[in-house]
Amino acid sequence: MAITVSSPSYPISPLLRSRFQQTFTITLNPSTNTLRRTHLCCVSATTREPLYTSLSKPVQSSPLAHLQPYLLSEWQLILKGWLCSAASVYFLSLTVPSIALLPRVLCESTGPQRPIKEGLRLAVLAAARFATAYLQHAFLLEASLRAANRIRVRVFDRLVHNDLGFFEGNGGVFTGDVAHRITSEAADVADMAFALLNTVVPTALQLVAMSTQMVAVSPLLSLVSFLAIPCMSFIMAYLGKRLREVSRESHFSIARLSAYLNEVLPSMLAVKANNGEKKESSKFQSLAHEAMRDILRKKKMKEFIPHAMKLVYIGGLAALCTGFLVISGESFDGTKILSFSTALALVINPIQDVGKAYNELKQGEPAVERLFDLTRFESKVMEKTNAIEVEHVRGDIKFCGVKFRYGDETSPPVLDGADLHIRPGETVALVGPSGGGKTTLAKLLLRLYDPLCGSILLDDCNIQDMILGSLRNHVALVLQDAMLFSGTVAKNIAYRAPNEEINMAQVENAARIANAHEFIKDLPNGYETNIGPRGSLFSGGQKQRIAIARALYQNSSVLVLDEATSALDSRSELLVRQALERLMANRTVLVIAHRIETIKMADRVVVLEGGKFKEADKSTLFGANGLLESTEQSSIVV
């Protein structure tokens, strides 16, 4: 049974809320009528294109349920922390009567011996209390940080295994937002875990110990004192709800700020070239102001809650105790009063701690939800359980009636029954109008997306039957944007190899063939030079040659090449072209061609238009009149 509800209870940023219309399909378990799964379908308000895939996991009502397994995995540290807390409370409970006795000892003793002895006893007890309290904090802090780190690692691991569609915007989450969740919000989760661990047992122990002392002095007055607690619970519940809302808003504003920075900083070239500095500064200012306002609201609320609780508790307590004392006429001696009030003060402290922990809990809840949201998207590209490892391929590629579209049925198909056979060792140049689906075809060949119908065969084996890693080992991809990572040149060329298995001889050989060795050897540390973020140290042509060296290192039988459109100077162009020719030799190559020379080099040219392939004749393509109609529309650089 499926119900579609229009008002989502699922957390979503106001930014997304304003952009997208959401539809939630809640599936009920037919036998028990209980909520089993939530399928989330987020569609664009304008195109109605789905932006989320379905949620895969049963709904867990409480963020604490998410945290539980990670905390349990740190049980040894938690146990140590709680044992230290028990010891700390034990020393505290010995300290309280000693403090109460001290004035009498001072008044009654004739020599210095007894006060010194009592003073020393108190000092030892206080030192023991502080030492055990410190160890309690240290163990619990380590447990919560380790648990949060495990969550962070797990979330990232799920994230990198998501479909490419998730990162291409179909997940409805901006990359800056993702980075914010994994860094800053995971830190909030650690604070929340610590607050919980440091409150549940230690506070309960201290409350029990101090209450016992109070009850021992005056059971009735203690009972009256505890009556103030329910007043506090109401206030705490109300303020906690408010804090949760305020906290969620502040998470969203920071996430927006982070997403903005993530977008604008790598695009500084475009900003500067378009005189956009002022515009971007004012955009940042407004987002930063929004974030500051929301954070301030959260911080004020956080500060307010423990004080409000303390005030309510002490106020209620004073009223109740005074009323009780007046009515009952009970009287206390000095020691009893001191003992009772010390214990009472030490009850107020943990109650205040409960308030603070409640703060952290309410503030951490949205962070837990947002963090675990990232693990809920289910990949559409799934590896079959009986998928096969293919050792060697000749490079025979067949696209058989491939149909594909991004989004739902309302979006137009990018490929519509496309058929193409590329024989082993053949170089096929793919041309066609911009937006015709050339890059999409490359993505399908690497199984970054699956076709809606039809199949893609590599050496007559459906790529959906192959282990994903095995397929991607046999198909190398060289993109227009070289996509280098911060790290050394060697690590970039041998990106596929684990760091410890980099074969330097192969790296150097690949670099030589790719015409990259000459400039690499002149770098300060040669192959060990750090290339800066996204290879900022290199020119466009150098980056392309490193990307070609990377593909050569991979040594796959099939090469998919999205030729760069950006023009290089003639020498650089020649070096890149030579490198490409060497890379393409003895491989099956599908090249998304943007240059006439590449088309001339190819064995065949196919035009991708209207979602289908058409064979083109090279001689007519470069006839006396120049370019054919189809190439005129395409992005061929002449």
Ligand X SMILES: Nc1ncnc2c1ncn2[C@@H]1O[C@H](COP(=O)(O)OP(=O)(O)OP(=O)(O)O)[C@@H](O)[C@H]1O
With respect to ligand X, which residue has the nearer C-beta, 142 or 450?
Answer: 450
Tell me which residue of 531, 528, 432 sits closest to 484, measured CA to CA.
531
d(CA 457, CA 463): 6
d(CA 620, CA 142): 71
Tell me which residue of 67, 258, 294 sits closest to 173, measured CA to CA.
258
Q: In angstroms, give the least distance from the CB of 53 to ligand X.
A: 13
With respect to ligand X, which residue has the nearer C-beta, 354 or 475?
Answer: 475
| Binding span for ligand X by CB under 6 A among 11-19, 217-225, 288-296, 432-440 | 432-440
Any contact of residue 262 with ligand X (CB under 6 A)?
Answer: no
Q: In angstroms, give the least distance from the CB of 600 to ligand X.
A: 19
Give, as ranges, the residues between 134 and 173 that touch ligand X (CB under 6 A). 168
Q: What ranges make up the beta strands (E) of 320-473?
A: 397-404, 415-422, 427-431, 453-458, 461-462
Any contact of residue 434 with ligand X (CB under 6 A)?
Answer: yes
| Binding span for ligand X by CB under 6 A among 211-219, 431-439, 455-463, 580-588 | 431-439
d(CA 442, CA 563): 12
DSSP one-letter code for 5: E
Q: In angstroms, give the least distance from the CB of 563 to ligand X.
A: 10
With respect to ligand X, which residue has the nearer C-beta, 291 or 547?
Answer: 547
Any contact of residue 438 with ligand X (CB under 6 A)?
Answer: yes
Any contact of residue 481 with ligand X (CB under 6 A)?
Answer: no
Q: Is the separation of the CB atoms in 193 and 148 below 8 Å?
A: yes
With respect to ligand X, which residue has the nearer C-beta, 172 or 432?
Answer: 432
Residue selected from 284, 406, 519, 622 as contacting ligand X according to rule CB under 6 A: 406
Any contact of residue 476 with ligand X (CB under 6 A)?
Answer: no
| Binding span for ligand X by CB under 6 A among 11-19, 60-68, 428-436, 486-494 | 428-436
Structure tokens at 520: 């690499």
Q: Is the separation of the CB atoms in 306 and 359 below 8 Å?
A: yes
3-state SS string over 556-593? CCEEEEECCCCCCCHHHHHHHHHHHHHHHCCCEEEEEC
| Binding span for ligand X by CB under 6 A among 219-227, 289-297, 438-446, 546-554 | 438-446
Residue selected from 58, 266, 323, 435 as contacting ligand X according to rule CB under 6 A: 435
Q: Is 136 exposed, middle or buried (0-12, 13-18, 19+ CB in 10 A)?
A: buried
Residue selected from 214, 414, 516, 576 as contacting ligand X according to rule CB under 6 A: 414
Q: Is the separation of the CB atoms in 576 and 545 below 8 Å?
A: yes
- Encoded one letter per residue, x for contact with ligand X by CB under 6 A and - for no contact, window 168-207 reads x---------------------------------------
Q: In angstroms, give the least distance from the CB of 28 to ligand X.
A: 32
Residue selected from 240, 350, 437, 611 as contacting ligand X according to rule CB under 6 A: 437
Residue with tokens 């939800």: 369
Residue selected from 50, 63, 436, 535 as contacting ligand X according to rule CB under 6 A: 436
d(CA 7, CA 28): 17
Any contact of residue 611 with ligand X (CB under 6 A)?
Answer: no
With respect to ligand X, which residue has the nearer C-beta, 152 or 438?
Answer: 438
β-sheet bridge partners, residue 591: 429, 561
With respect to ligand X, which residue has the nearer C-beta, 334 or 435?
Answer: 435
With respect to ligand X, which residue has the nearer C-beta, 97 or 413?
Answer: 413
DSSP one-letter code for 638: -
CA dihedral 251, 254, 256, 257 (to 10 degrees): 180
Q: How many CB atoms lie within 10 A of CB 589?
A: 25
Size of the site for ligand X (CB under 6 A): 12
With respect to ligand X, which residue has the nearer C-beta, 176 or 437?
Answer: 437
DSSP H helical ranges for 218-227: 219-226
d(CA 89, CA 69): 28
Binding site for ligand X (CB under 6 A): 168, 406, 414, 432, 434-440, 635
